[in-house]
């Protein structure tokens, strides 16, 4: 299956402590299309801390995930927002394993928190970006 991947970057995080739903905005690197993803408070706070370079006295959950990947001799190759189905985004994490790679299904919030932490490349499939930006 061929899949066109669009490089994107995280451009905005909107956290409202009174809401269960937080927003992050992804924008394509080589263009103007952008779209929001609704995520939970915990994940938004993790992404926000990392973007702002806020240190925590103890490793938070996504820090532990990043350190675990590193300690096991792997690294994050890329993160892909791969699918949109019934208003839910799906993502996958591509990790290095030996001379190959391994893919893991995950939520975009965890994937982006990890990408920001590890400075990993972030992509959205062309189908997804077409669908969400066409809807706006």
Q: By CB under 8 A, tell whether 19 contacts its own copies.
A: no
Would you say 34 and 11 are in contact if contact means Cβ atoms under 8 Å apart?
yes
Among 6, 10, 13, 65, the residue binding its own copies under the rule CB under 8 A is 65
Sheet of 121-125: strand order equals 34-39, 22-28, 5-14, 121-125, 76-85, 88-97, 100-106
Q: What are phi and psi of 61, to 5 degrees?
A: -60, -45
Q: Does 59 bind its own copies (CB under 8 A)?
A: yes
Options 2-10, 63-71, 116-124, 126-134: segment touching its own copies (CB under 8 A): 63-71
Q: Which residues pair with 130 in a beta bridge?
A: none
Residue 14 is a binding residue for its own copies (CB under 8 A): no
CB of residue 94 to its own copies, shortest distance in Å? 11
Phi, psi of 55, rounded to the nearest 5 degrees: -85, 145
Which listed range, 7-15, 17-25, 28-36, 105-113, lies at the site for its own copies (CB under 8 A)?
105-113
If binding is defined by CB under 8 A, does position 69 make contact with its own copies?
yes
Residue 100: partners with Cβ closer than 8 Å, 6 or more residues away: none
φ, ψ dihedrals at 65, nearest 5°: -60, -45
The verdict on 21 binding its own copies (CB under 8 A) reads no
Residue span binding its own copies (CB under 8 A) among the ranges 17-25, 30-38, 58-66, 121-129: 58-66
Nearer to its own copies, 4 or 101 (CB): 101
């Amino acid at each position: 299956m061929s899949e066109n991947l669009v490089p994107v970057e995280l451009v905005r995080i909107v956290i409202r402590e009174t809401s269960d739903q937080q927003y992050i905005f992804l924008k394509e690197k080589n263009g103007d299309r952008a779209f929001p993803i609704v995520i939970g408070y915990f994940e938004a706070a993790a992404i926000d801390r990392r973007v702002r370079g806020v240190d925590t006295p103890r490793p938070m959950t996504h820090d532990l995930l990043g350190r675990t990947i590193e300690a096991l001799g792997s690294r994050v190759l890329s993160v892909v927002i791969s699918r949109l189905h019934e208003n839910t985004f799906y993502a996958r994490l591509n990790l290095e394993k030996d001379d190959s790679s391994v893919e893991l299904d995950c939520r975009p919030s965890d994937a982006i928190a990890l990408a920001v932490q590890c400075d990993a490349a972030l992509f959205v499939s062309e189908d997804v970006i077409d669908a969400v930006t066409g809807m706006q």
